[in-house]
Structure 1
Amino acid sequence: MSTTGHHLLGWSPRAVVFDCDGTLMDSERHWQEARVRAFRGFGLQAPPGFADQAKGVHYADCGRLMAEAVHKPELTPDLTAALLHHFLDLVADDPVTMPGAVELVRLLSGRLPLAVASNCPSEVVEASLERAGLRAHFEHIVVPSATPAGDTGTVRPKPWPDVYETAAKLCGVGAEEALAVEDSLTGVESARRARLRVLGVGPRPDGDDVHRADLWVTALHTPELLAWVHTWAPLAGS
């Protein structure tokens, strides 16, 4: 538990905003395989450590990083397109939820406004959640947009704060009243910049990175997390 985690456990959010990849859906492995296939399609191989560098990065930025990593910036459009193509194929065949995701979402559904803030294309998020039986529990899905989206303006990808700021606004709460649930440091940074409190899920980062989230838990069904959730008071009328 991070130092601020002790304080977080005495607080109740008024909305919860989940990341999708690696938090709700076990699709980070699909992105990894998609990167491998995209590189292989051009006779290339990812340099050591690239998977950690690419985790949580918007796919368009990831395509650029892939091209830069192999010193072939001219391949950016082709690698980006190949990356998305391979990922869509993989996730369509195997949409698996992360441990505890279904149970936690169902526990919260109807008690608090729920949203998803993801760097993935909307069709990927929608299809993954639908096939996992989770889509109906979320009032809002927020993803980056290249053009203004309604009255929310252009939504930039993580680590920009836009997806989390927009999700909190759509949930009808102030950013400081919402909890973000994230598995990547890129996503944690996005939520922090948006002024949400942050629950990190998965392996604890090394060094000072652990303090970038208010609390880290190993999975969404840890007893510590579930005990805390049961103390949350539902919103009036829920």
Structure 2
Amino acid sequence: MSEPSSIEAVVFDMDGVLTDTETMWDEVRRGLAAEDGVPWPDGATEAMLGMSTPEWSEYMATTIGVDGDAPAVADRTINHMAARYHEHLPTLPGAVDAVERLAGRWPLGLASSSPRRLIDTVLAELGLDHHFRATVSTEEVERGKPSPDGYAKVAELLGVDPRRAVAIEDSSNGMRSAAAAGMRVIAVPHEAFPPDADALELTATQVGSLDEVTVELVENLGR
């Protein structure tokens, strides 16, 4: 008889894991910079991956030079994103099935850098909101990824020790965040924004798609 698994919860990232929206975020942000006639600096896209709304909007306002203060930049960006989601919400292969599969075995949480408005829009649009017992935007904690704050908050809301939870992440800062919170991390790297080698080293395993994230795979991480 196999040893029982210690895993008590699974926590998903959203952008780049459930939805293929990392590229959309980049397009919208670059579009705003172009509208305002400011160049896009090298490394800006990677720098903002995982940042909370206050953090990336401040970065866009001060480092990139987009017009307006941070709250105004955030507002412009989120309005553009909501409009794009309404037109078409690109979902990554296997996302809905993976959520439904794992929800049949564990309580699920979500730790996202997206603002609350977009988290709620996405989960409702995908018909998955009822599967998640706790969702946290990095707007709702002190620091965004790679800080552990978001993942730690989700574990607290789920009532589980982070060391008994598994996180599913695509980005370097997301992997760093979940690992810093004490979670075992499954990496599902995004082709457009491949994670750094040092972030991948923090993960428990790496898969090519969500179809590979089975109940058995997650259980084995706790043995």
Instruction: Output the TM-score relative to the length of structure 2.
Output: 0.84
Match of 2:27 in 1: 33
Describe the shift of the 1:160–1:230 C-alpha distance in structure 2 as closer, same or farther (beyond 3 A). closer
Instruction: Give unpaired runs (5+ residues) of structure 2.
Output: none
Uncovered stretches (5+) of structure 1, i.e. residues with no partner: 1-9, 147-153, 233-238
Which residue number corresponds to residue 194 of structure 1? 181
Deviations 1:162-216 (A, max 9, x none): 2111111222211100001111111111111111111111256353332022222
Q: Distance in 2 between matches of 1:230 and 1:60?
A: 33
Q: Indicate the residue corresponding to 1:215 in structure 2.
A: 205
Cα deviations across residues 9-36 of structure 1 (Å, max 9, x unaligned)? Answer: x955210000111111111122011112
| Counterpart residue identity of residue 15, structure 1 | A
Q: Which residue of 2 aligns with 1:103?
A: 97
Q: How far 1:93 sits from its partner (Å)?
A: 2.0
Match of 1:61 in 2: 55
Structure 2 partner of 1:159? 146
CA RMSD of aligned residues (A): 2.4
Deviations 1:19-63 (A, max 9, x none): 111111111122011112211221123123322222222233222
Larger proportion of helix = 2
- Output the CA distance in 1 between the equivalents of 2:195 and 2:173: 12
- Any idea what SS the aligned residue of 1:228 has? helix
> How has the CA–CA distance of structure 1 residues 196 and 74 changed in structure 2, closer, same or farther, with 3 Å as cutoff?
same
Query: Deviation at 1:68?
Result: 4.1
- Say if 1:39 and 1:79, in contact at 8 Å, map to a contact too: no
Matched, 1:168 2:168: no
**Equivalent pairs: percent with the same residue?**
32
Which residue pairs with 1:21 in the alignment?
15
Aligned residues: 213
- In 2, Cα distance between the equivalents of 1:137 and 1:212? 27
Is the 2:66–2:73 contact (alpha carbons within 8 Å) kept by the matching residues of 1?
A: no
Q: Secondary structure at the match of 1:51?
A: helix
Q: Which segment drifts farther, 177-186 or 57-66?
A: 57-66
Corresponding letter in the other structure for 1:207: A
**TM-score, normalised to structure 1's length?**
0.79
Match of 2:195 among 199, 205, 211: 205
* CA deviation map 1:39-95 (0-9, x unaligned): 12211231233222222222332222234443x488442433322222222122222
